[in-house]
Amino acid sequence: MTVKILAVGDICGPPGLRMLSKRLRPFIEENDIAFTVVNGENAALTGLTPENAEAIFRAGADVITLGNHTWNRREILSYLDENAFILRPANYAPQTPGRGWGVFETPFGDVCVLNLIGRCDMPFGPDNPFFEADRILKKVQTPIVLVDFHAEATSEKLAMAYHLDGRVTALWGTHTHVQTSDAEVFPKGTGYITDLGMTGAARSVIGIRPEQSVSMYLGNPPQRFEAAEGPAKMEGAVFTVDVNTGRCVAVEAFRLEGVR
The pair phi, psi for residue 135, each rounded to 5°, is -65, -45
**Smallest Cα–Cα separation from 114: which of 138, 148, 144?**
148
Ordered alpha helix ranges (H), 31-90: 50-59, 77-82
Rounded (10°) CA dihedral 209, 227, 77, 119: -30
Q: Is 175 a catalytic residue?
A: no
- Please give the radius of gyration of the chain, using alpha carbons only, rounded to the nearest integer: 17
Q: How far is it, in rounded angstroms, from Cα 98 to Cα 81?
A: 4
Those residues whose C-beta lies under 8 Å from the C-beta of residue 105, and which sit 6 or more positions away, are none
Are the C-beta atoms of residues 48 and 23 closer than 8 Å to each other? no
Using DSSP's 3-state secondary structure scheme, residue 41 falls into coil
Contact, 236 vs 253, CB < 8 A?
Answer: yes
Percentages (nearest 5) of helix, strand, coil residues in the chain: 25, 30, 45
The DSSP output letter for 176 is S
Which residue in the list 69, 150, 175, 177 is annotated as catalytic?
69
Burial of 92 by CB count in 10 Å (0-12 exposed, 13-18 middle, 19+ buried)? Answer: buried
Catalytic residue positions, numbered = 69
